[in-house]
Structure 1
């Protein structure tokens, strides 16, 4: 062969180089076709007719992203599973790391999971924590954003004097003080009567 150099090089190396040249040429032609708008992805080259070989399968389309469920709208057993995971996070991360001793200015109820408002707010804070502490999705500023935009407002609302723990103290647990007399229709199932 005239293209081969005079020094001793394994023949397989030349075959690899030729394969790479063919692949680059095929991909360049595909890019050209697509940039001119005359073809569709995978059209001319997917069957391998022009190149003599079949291209790898295209990756499967990703599942459609679904927004996280609002915990108060879940039915058992999904609610129970979500609440169990939330309790684990609150008791394992939030309480020991962020909650000081409760006081008149910073209330907390050890039975927080019996307060629907607290469950809803803490669940939202937990979902944000999951996203904003994952380096793959948040970058370096995620934890700071989580503290500023999610944790601090959540704790202010929960622990404030008008929050869901307003009637609770170290020895007293009271849920009824925050329950409205009339539940908005969007929160009730069909056919339920007003209380």
Structure 2
């Protein structure tokens, strides 16, 4: 490579290798998408593209499918969707996160067995779970996805949830307190007026 005048000779920082693998996976995904979009009715690539009206209608249908396929942020859901999403989140937290990643609770690393009654914990753990779903699928993120999930999602989430001043501050190993950190109600986009 050093003999090639078109290739610059420099050291590549280690962190760039992860980014490069992520970019390769994204290019492969986009290439497959372009190939699928340019394929004709009988599946052969290179045929004429459909006219703009058809593309617009297909894009709207794809957007509707994407909405149904990917759950929105849990705090924006109303029952029964909220309840279904929370049940699935509890399965993941209790089946994957707690046994695989959480050490014994202590004064410096708190955890509440009733975490699902702490809205802050539900919000953060739901975001963590959504990232897990995306970043553990090699088809969407390449092979570096789990590493990115640990670095960018798991570690920051645990730093926010488990410190002694975090959302579980009033909870001890055998006692749960959810109201200890709840502020008074403030009108906002999160609170809907009672009908």
Give the TM-score normalised by the residue count of structure 2: 0.66
1:189 pairs, out of 163, 179, 192, with 192
Q: CA RMSD of the aligned region, Å?
A: 2.3
- Flag as ranges the 4+ runs of structure 1 deviating above 3 A: 65-68
- What does residue range 41-190 of structure 1 map to in structure 2 within 5 Å? 41-42=49-50, 63-64=62-63, 65-66=66-67, 68-190=71-193
Looking at structure 1, the residues matched to 119 and 113 of structure 2 have their Cα atoms a distance apart, in angstroms, of 14
* d(CA) in 2 for partners of 1:72, 1:42: 40
Task: Point out where structure 1 has 5 or more consecutive residues left out of the alignment.
Answer: 1-26, 32-39, 44-59
Secondary structure of 2:110's aligned partner: coil
Following the alignment from structure 2 to structure 1, what is the Cα–Cα distance between the partners of residues 50 and 191?
50
Identify if the C-alpha distance between structure 1 residues 185 and 42 changes in structure 2 by more than 3 Å, giving closer, same or farther: closer
* Alpha-carbon distance between aligned partners in 2 of 1:181 and 1:187, rounded to the nearest angstrom: 13
Aligned residues: 141
Q: Encode CA deviations 1:59-95: one digit per residue, 9 max, x unaligned.
A: x666113464111121110000000000000000000
Flag the 1:149–1:72 CA change in 2: closer, same or farther, 3 A.
Answer: same
Q: Distance in 2 between matches of 1:184 and 1:138?
A: 39
Larger RCO of the pair (alpha carbons < 8 Å, separation 6+): 2
Cα–Cα, structure 1 residues 139 and 188, in superposed 2: closer, same or farther, change >3 Å? same
| Unaligned ranges ≥5, structure 2 | 1-43, 52-57
Name the larger-Rg structure. Answer: 1
- Match of residue 16 from structure 1: none
**Structure 1 residue 41 displacement after superposition:** 2.3
